[in-house]
Structure 1
Amino acid sequence: MDQEERDRFEIPKEVRSMAEAGFDQARKAFEHMLSSAQQTAATIEDRGAAARANAKEITGRAVSFAERNVHAALDYAQQLVHAKDLGDVMRVHSEYVQSQMKAFAEQASEIGQVVSKAAQDVTKPKS
């Protein structure tokens, strides 16, 4: 093939059309993939924000419960110090154990509700 024949070489219209169609399809596929990636990133960011907010609430409640339990234990210890006899010690101890068991049950229930809500918030579909 000499220079003149190479200069006259043309890409057939059908091949050119197929190539253009292929490029258009590739561009559309890339744009679709990019759009999906952006939506996924936004969803992850939203869910991350919800998870952080819920974690903050759970931590706040746990700290609040710990404070209440420490105060109850300190009050218990002070009452023991002021007990007059063994009967008084047994009464104070019994009251403390009963009140703490009730408090622990309430705290566990409350934390369970918050954790359940957090799980629902993180897994619910974005509207």
Structure 2
Amino acid sequence: MIEPKLEVPTELRDLAEKTIDQAEKAFGMFFDAANKSVTSIPSPGTEISKQALSFTEQNLKAAFEHARKLVHATDLQQAMQIQSEFLRSQFTNAGEHMRQISSGVMNAARDTTKIKL
């Protein structure tokens, strides 16, 4: 069975790309401000907060890249492959991020306990 081509006008693809670029720029500004805010008030959770912001930023960058790839999909099979690859990488990244955050929390708790003793 032959998959029909996705007939998306070039103008619509261009508009979608511009919209993705604008959203990515806006989120970049948000993350710059958030990082400055987190580092301006030192606390025991500062490192974990910075790490969580970093992971969120990585996830959003991956989502924007995913959206760019989808905009250029020429058929449903290609779109589904792009989606499958994205989900696989996100699950892998989520597991790694959780492992790193858990390790950071455990280290912070250990350090806090040492200070009190």
| Structure 1 equivalent of residue 46 of structure 2 | 56
TM-score by length of 1: 0.56
Deviation of the 1:123 alpha carbon: 1.2
CA RMSD of superposed structures (Å): 1.7
Instruction: For 2:101, give the aligned amino acid.
Output: I
Aligned to 2:33: none
Unaligned stretches of 5+ in structure 1?
1-50
Percent identity between the aligned chains? Answer: 39
Equivalent in 94, 97, 114 of residue 87 of structure 2: 97
Matched, 1:85 2:72: no
> Residues 105-124 of structure 1 correspond to what in structure 2 (within 5 A)?
105-124=95-114
**Following TM superposition, by how much is the alpha carbon of 1:124 offset from its aligned partner in structure 2, in angstroms?**
2.1
| Alignment map for 1:6-21 (pairs within 5 Å) | none
Corresponding residue of 1:39: none
User: 2:5 is matched with which residue?
Assistant: none
User: Structure 1 residue 73 and structure 2 residue 63: aligned?
Assistant: yes
3-state DSSP of counterpart to 2:45: helix
Distance 1:115 1:125 in 2: 15
Q: Tell me the CA shift for residue 126 of structure 1.
A: 5.2
Alpha-carbon distance between aligned partners in 2 of 1:67 and 1:120, rounded to the nearest angstrom: 27
Spell out, residue by residue over 1:15-39, the C-alpha distance to the aligned partner (whole angstroms, 9 max, x if none).
xxxxxxxxxxxxxxxxxxxxxxxxx
Q: Distance in 1 between matches of 2:64 and 2:116?
A: 47
Q: TM-score of the superposition, structure 2-length normalised? A: 0.61
Give per-residue Cα distances to partners, 1:53-74, cap 9 Å, x unaligned. x411001101100110000000
